[in-house]
């Protein structure tokens, strides 16, 4: 008998009437406060995938983290706003009791073959097996479920107290390895620690407020990718007035761009004197 992957346990949902699913936080994906944001975003995509009226595959997802999710059960409520011939628009909320902890929108669509081109360039990085697996502090529990091998910009800059640029490049996959799908890809867009900590070379209170994922890979492409490493890059454009942005690109085998994302992250750090 094979036991379920921690990711599948953490994103498991039971239908509870029309447009409502029940899930439960998993201690495997705990962050410092509440669950890892990436697993919450993955749960929302999984809810739509499980919906009987769902059409196609994810095109875009925006998740707004309104308040911490407490350990325990939660409800995912879905509202199908509109179904067009080839795409579909959803509003999603994650609720605990009467409180909406997370609001989101998603666009799904039938992804047909079309003219194809990639303008962005995949970064250069040494092969994953030539890099050491990054270790993280025990209290960031969710990192145990990822095999991350940094080619650039790992968390050692924080530990060393060395201010640096915000760019990072990392090979990453689920641990244990697991075939890539859209929920898992969604979670991977949120694996990067807040860029402000790299910039300042120290711990800074920070948390993602809004995450947007744009999906480039079809389900077929993810199946072809399998359980291999994804090459992920992150950087920031601007820090100011208590928020910075953090953009990522996720690359698959053969330089296939799987997804891009951008998030706005709250941080608390006074102006330079």
| Cβ count within 10 A of residue 15 | 13
- Whole-angstrom distance, CA of residue 267 vs CA of residue 271: 12
Q: Which is nearer to its own copies, 68 or 144 (CB)?
A: 68
Report, in Å, the least distance between residue 135 CB and its own copies. 27
Report, in Å, the least distance between residue 4 CB and its own copies. 30
**Residue 2 makes contact with its own copies by CB under 8 A:** no
Burial of 112 (0-12, 13-18, 19+ CB in 10 A): exposed
**Residue 238 makes contact with its own copies by CB under 8 A:** yes
List 112, 129, 132, 254, residue binding its own copies (CB under 8 A): 112
List 7, 249, 250, 252, residue binding its own copies (CB under 8 A): 249
Q: What are phi and psi of 117, to 5 degrees?
A: -160, 150
**Residue 60 makes contact with its own copies by CB under 8 A:** yes
Report, in Å, the least distance between residue 230 CB and its own copies. 15
**Residue 111 makes contact with its own copies by CB under 8 A:** yes
Integer angstrom CA distances of residue 30 from 9, 25, 60, 221, 243: 13, 8, 25, 30, 23
Q: Which is nearer to its own copies, 146 or 239 (CB)?
A: 239
- Whole-angstrom distance, CA of residue 8 vs CA of residue 2: 13
- Contact by Cβ (8 Å): 94, 101: yes
Q: Which is nearer to its own copies, 131 or 264 (CB)?
A: 264
Q: Which stretch binds its own copies (CB under 8 A): 6-14, 45-53, 153-161, 195-203?
A: 195-203
Integer angstrom CA distances of residue 64 from 31, 75, 97, 232, 234: 17, 16, 18, 22, 20
38 half-sphere exposure, CB direction, 13 A CA radius:
23
Binding mask 70-99 for its own copies (x = CB under 8 A): -----------xx-x-xx-x-x-x-----x
Integer angstrom CA distances of residue 119 from 149, 169, 231, 255, 266: 25, 18, 17, 11, 30
**Residue 162 makes contact with its own copies by CB under 8 A:** no
**Residue 216 makes contact with its own copies by CB under 8 A:** yes
List 8, 105, 123, 201, residue binding its own copies (CB under 8 A): 105
Give the binding site for its own copies (CB under 8 A).
59-60, 62, 64, 66-67, 81-82, 84, 86-87, 89, 91, 93, 99-100, 103-105, 107, 109, 111-120, 165-166, 196, 199-200, 209-210, 212, 214, 216, 218, 235-243, 245, 249, 257, 260, 262, 264, 266-272
């Amino acid at each position: 008998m094979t036991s379920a992957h921690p990711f599948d346990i953490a994103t498991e949902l039971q239908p509870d009437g029309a447009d409502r699913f029940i899930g439960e936080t998993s201690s495997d994906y705990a962050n410092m406060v509440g669950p890892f944001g990436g697993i919450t975003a993955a749960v929302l995509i999984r809810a739509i995938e499980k919906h009987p009226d769902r059409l196609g595959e994810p095109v875009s997802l925006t998740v707004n983290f309104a308040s911490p999710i407490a350990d325990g059960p939660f409800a995912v409520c879905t509202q199908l706003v509109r179904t067009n011939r080839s795409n579909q628009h959803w509003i999603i909320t994650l609720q605990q009791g009467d409180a909406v902890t997370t609001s989101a929108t998603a666009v799904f669509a039938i992804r047909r073959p079309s003219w194809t081109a990639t303008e962005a360039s995949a970064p250069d990085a040494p092969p994953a097996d030539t890099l050491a697996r990054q270790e993280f502090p025990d209290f960031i529990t969710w990192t145990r479920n990822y095999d991350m091998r940094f080619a650039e910009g790992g968390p050692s800059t924080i530990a060393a107290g060395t201010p640096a640029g915000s760019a990072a490049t990392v090979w990453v996959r689920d641990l244990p390895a697991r075939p890539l799908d859209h929920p898992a890809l969604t979670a991977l867009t949120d694996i990067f620690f807040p860029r402000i900590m790299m910039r300042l070379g120290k711990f800074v209170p920070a948390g993602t407020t809004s995450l947007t994922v744009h999906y480039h890979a079809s389900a077929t492409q993810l199946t072809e990718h399998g359980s291999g490493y994804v090459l992920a890059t992150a950087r920031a454009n601007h820090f100011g007035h208590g928020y910075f942005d953090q953009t990522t690109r996720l690359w698959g085998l053969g330089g296939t761009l799987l997804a891009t994302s951008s998030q706005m992250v709250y941080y608390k750090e006074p102006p330079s004197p």
